Amino acid sequence: MSTPHAAQRHDAQPQAQGLADLVSSTHRAGEVWVSSPFDGTLVGTLPASSDEDVHSAVAAARDAHQEWAARPVAERVAPLLEFRELVLQHSEELLDLVQLETGKARSSALEEIADIVLWSSYLVHHGPRALRSQRRSSAFPLLTRTTEHHKPIGVVGVITPWNYPLTLPVTDSLPALLAGNAVVLKPDEQTSHTALRLLSLLRHAGIPEDLMQIVVGSGPEAGAALVDCADYLMFTGSSATGARVAARCAERLIGFSGELGGKNPMLILDDADTSRAAATAAQSCFSNAGQLCVSIERIYIHDSVWEEFTTRFLRRVSQLKLAPGLTWQADVGSLISEQQLKVVAEHVEDAVEKGATVLTGGKPRPDLGPFFYEPTVLTDVTEQMALHSTETFGPVVSLYRVTSEEEAIAAANDSPYGLNASVFSAKRGPAVARRLQTGSVNINDGYAASWISLDAPMGGMKRSGVGRRHGTQGILKYTESQTVARQRFASVARPAGVGRRLWAQMMLRGINVLKRLR
């Protein structure tokens, strides 16, 4: 691949022009060069944000937050409505930009457009109700009136990866804004143009200029600076990095939410519809070239349907089309980088050297682009292989034959991760789902059913994350709960002139009555 300075400008370069002005960077800590994974052509250059720039961005956002938080929720909803319409109006431009920066297939990019439009709609219709102050029952009915309020936290720092550059910034930033916070977003350097275009649309929709800021730079530099000065931190990335970020947040006593790694299992039980399962598995394993936090990386197949499912699955995988470019022809696009290609290739090579069998794929495709890799299916994978338990985050899945439902459940749960799972069964899906140690489980689907259930929380167990996005939990986590209790008529304190023993007897009688009212 060409070096950034040797890269030629892409035909779609003009759409990236002007976005550099939106970066919170006055000290200019160097430049970030973004080249397309498709062919190395230059998407654009951006100024890198220094440590001082990050602190300045947070300070500006904090100032803007005061006026924004004072607005009624109904006023904060209006820009989200306008943003939703602007996304639809500019969908072709956004699709181009996402593809240029990530190398993903256009169909995968379209999923992001659909996702942010639907999530914006959910927030508009359900957010105000979630944020409404609520009456709570009190210890002393009639005497005490108790209300819970939801107050914005302040400045929310959002750190997002490169794999879903539309979905993740919007999913995490919009509820924070709706709740009355300011946001400082640090996207991955590779997909910063996409994030900046989102910011331009949000400002056009009516978000105050300083309320949301974007800083550009590496995780160890710009990301670390953001963790050190934000009031709350939302992070999406690896479990190892998430643990370090969470530790720093704990030191500062600020809130943290993180969607982290996964090694997501699919269970094909003996009563599964293998035709449907095979078609869904092909999409669930290789969408976005497997660079998806909830994608399937291991499949446990009951012995009685092994041949039937495997034959159908391999046929589906062989029909997937790899292709570069801004067209609708590809089912699978490019990996994001040389580093990601290296990880995928090393996992497959290590498995093969230790006895695994490649059923299809298993090779890079430099004829298509520098980072393309074939959709790959392996079997005979053992615990000695990195592929067995380590997240690959690429177009690779391993198949395992099991002899019982119990064996499949035990194997699926035998992982430090617990993000997403899938169960294919005509009758036993719900019962099996409840026994799986993952934040989401899809019955007769791979991951889409749970992800698009926007009213339900989404997140991980074990090393796959802390906190949830989506649903009311994904809104209220950006608030502090405040309880206001107003006492009327009489105090609960001991009245003057009443002895302690008599007061204790009266209190115990009162408690005995109140316990029946709970």
Token digits for 282? 């092909």
For the chain, the 3-state helix, strand and coil shares in percent, each to the nearest 5, are: 45, 20, 35
Contact of 314 with 377, CB cutoff 8 Å: yes
Top CATH class of 13-260+472-479 equals: alpha beta
Give pLDDT, residue 505.
86
Active site residues: 259, 293
Residue 213: which of 358, 360, 49 has the closest Cα?
Answer: 49
What 403-407 contacts at long range (C-beta under 8 Å, 24+ apart), as own/partner pairs, is 403/302, 403/303, 404/302, 405/269, 405/270, 405/302, 405/432, 407/300
Pairing of strands 232-236, 155-159: parallel
User: How far is the C-alpha of 114 from the C-alpha of 255, rounded, in Å?
Assistant: 29
pLDDT in tens, 9-36: 344 454 666 788 888 877 667 899 999 9
Contacts (Cβ under 8 Å, ≥6 apart) of 370: 1, 37, 39, 40, 334, 338, 341
* Average pLDDT score over residue span 504-508: 84
Strand (E) or helix (H) holding 128:
helix 106-131
Per domain, the residue ranges of the chain are 13-260+472-479, 264-455
**pLDDT exceeds cutoff 90 at 341:** yes
Token digits for 188? 């991955």
Contacts (Cβ under 8 Å, ≥6 apart) of 246: 235, 256, 258, 466
User: How far is the C-alpha of 399 from the C-alpha of 35, rounded, in Å?
Assistant: 35
Give pLDDT, residue 518.
61
User: How far is the C-alpha of 48 from the C-alpha of 54, rounded, in Å?
Assistant: 10
User: How far is the C-alpha of 435 from the C-alpha of 413, rounded, in Å?
Assistant: 9
Contact of 447 with 147, CB cutoff 8 Å: no
DSSP annotation of 380: S
pLDDT in tens, 196-217: 999 999 999 999 999 999 999 9
pLDDT in tens, 463-476: 999 999 999 999 99
Give pLDDT, residue 5.
36
Please state the pTM of the whole predicted model: 0.93
Token digits for 231? 């009031």
Contacts (Cβ under 8 Å, ≥6 apart) of 290: 297, 375, 392, 393, 394, 395, 396, 397
Give pLDDT, residue 79.
97
User: How far is the C-alpha of 473 from the C-alpha of 141, rounded, in Å?
Assistant: 29
CATH number attached to the domain at 264-455: 3.40.309.10
Burial label for 271, CB within 10 Å (0-12, 13-18, 19+), is middle
Give 511's pLDDT tier (boundaries 50, 70, 90): confident
Contacts (Cβ under 8 Å, ≥6 apart) of 341: 335, 364, 370, 371, 373, 394
Give pLDDT, residue 510.
78
Average pLDDT along the chain: 93
Residue 249: which of 466, 53, 480, 416 has the closest Cα?
Answer: 466
**3-state class of 25 per DSSP?**
coil
pLDDT in tens, 29-84: 789 999 999 999 999 999 999 999 999 999 999 999 999 999 999 999 999 999 99
Total number of residues shown for the chain: 518
pLDDT in tens, 344-384: 999 999 999 999 999 999 999 999 999 999 999 999 999 99
